[in-house]
Amino acid sequence: MIEVVDLTRTFRGAGGLFAQNDVQALRKVSLKVERGAALGLIGESGCGKTTLGRIVCGLETFDGGDVLIDNQSVKTLGDRARRKVFRKVQLIHQDPYSALNPTRDIAHALIDPLRIQARLTRRDSTWVKQRAVELLSLVGLDPQETLYKFPHQLSGGQRQRVVIARALTVEPEALIADEAVSMIDVSLRLGVLHLLATLRRELNLAIVLITHDVAAARYVAHDGELAVIYKGEIVEKGKTDSIISAPVHPYTQALLSAVPVLRGLEVDGPDRYIPEPEVQVQGAEPAGCLFSTRCVFADDHCRGHHPDLSRWGDGDRLMACFKPQERQVVAVAVDDAMEA
């Protein structure tokens, strides 16, 4: 349904207030997600997740590669056709409060886009009200309770549900959830993740869960795929279960070891650490593997050569590393990193 091929995005002269370096937010990223499937996109802050999410929703431009929606390249489309195609892909971002107009009640938040949808699909005005009620029930809210409330009268979880209902007004084929639960109270997060998983099943939606939280990605995409992104580059990709149980890229292992035992969303066991992200010095990237500056296994070859994403094992795992580590989830502790 959504496919990106060798997608590249460079922000020119964006390396901070004084530095005028370019920031390579995405480097030749290729991904695909079908209708009804789930893809988790994980990586730490600044690795390009939001940029990728915004590009596949048509909210951000790209300078290399291509985006295909339902097998159609968006590059060849005119403005009108582009808008139509990108209606199929709706973004849910992290802050449901800023996504809703504080001066308008929930009924209006839904009815405005529903009116447009009714016009486009030649439905009459009674459909609009009925559909608003239907959508609120679908996202687990009581319509009578919610319709005439204002955003500030709802919890963060309820607000995010309203945002999801509003995204559904245009009858999309995919939802891109970008850190969609990170600003919600911890006790309400699981409910919203569960909702995304349910909508995927009931509406046959493609779900892309963009997150730094491995447990959340695992929850929503447990039967789907996981892509691990580091500095704008996919370093490992494959079936979620397989990656979680046997990650081979040292960065994936480090990410997972920060969440030692995953059971649902519960985390138990001692906290483990990954090496601190080094201060991002844009433009001063190593010639070889981008992770080599933080990797405990890196040698001169790693520092001098760039590893391409290639097949690993006999499944559909891809990874980009000269020193894949075949082992169960390990902890790359700060102390170990210092000693190496």
Ligand X SMILES: Nc1ncnc2c1ncn2[C@@H]1O[C@H](COP(=O)(O)OP(=O)(O)O)[C@@H](O)[C@H]1O
Binding site for ligand X (CB under 6 A): 11, 14, 23, 25, 43, 45-51
Nearest to 242 by CA among 4, 40, 2: 40
Residue 11 binding partner per list Mg ion, ligand X, none, with a CB distance cut-off of 5 to 8 Å that depends on partner kind:
ligand X
Residue 292 as a binder of Mg ion (CB under 5 A): the answer is no
The stretch among 29-37, 43-51, 130-138, 212-220 that binds Mg ion (CB under 5 A) is: 43-51
**Rounded least distance, CB 271 to Mg ion, Å:** 23
Q: How far is the CB of 88 from ligand X (least distance, A)?
A: 22
Q: Which does 14 bind (CB under 5 to 8 A by kind): Mg ion, ligand X, none?
A: ligand X
CB of 23 or CB of 180, closer to ligand X: 23
Q: How far, in Å, CA of 246 to CA of 223, rounded?
A: 15
Residue 116: partners with Cβ closer than 8 Å, 6 or more residues away: none
Which residue stretch of 18-26, 49-57, 138-146, 182-190 sits at the interface with Mg ion (rule: CB under 5 A)? 49-57
Phi, psi torsion values for 132, nearest 5 degrees: -60, -45
Query: What is the three-class DSSP state of 243?
Result: helix
Binding site partner of 180, from ligand X, Mg ion, none, Cβ cut-off 5-8 A by kind: none
Q: Is 50 an interacting residue with respect to Mg ion (CB under 5 A)? A: yes
Query: What is the C-alpha separation between 335 and 340, in angstroms, rounded?
Result: 9
* Long-range Cβ contacts of 272-276 (<8 Å, 24+ apart): 272/331, 272/333, 273/331, 273/332, 273/333, 273/334, 274/332, 275/332, 275/334, 275/337, 276/334
Q: Which is nearer to Mg ion, 49 or 317 (CB)?
A: 49
Q: Is 51 in the site for Mg ion (CB under 5 A)?
A: no
Least separation in angstroms between residue 50's CB and ligand X is 3
- Nearest to ligand X of 24, 146 (CB atom): 24
How far is the C-alpha of 191 from the C-alpha of 51, rounded, in Å? 26
Out of ligand X, Mg ion, none, what residue 51 binds, judged by CB under 5 to 8 A for its kind, is ligand X
- Taking the complex as a whole, how short is the minimal distance between the CB of residue 179 and Mg ion, in angstroms? 6
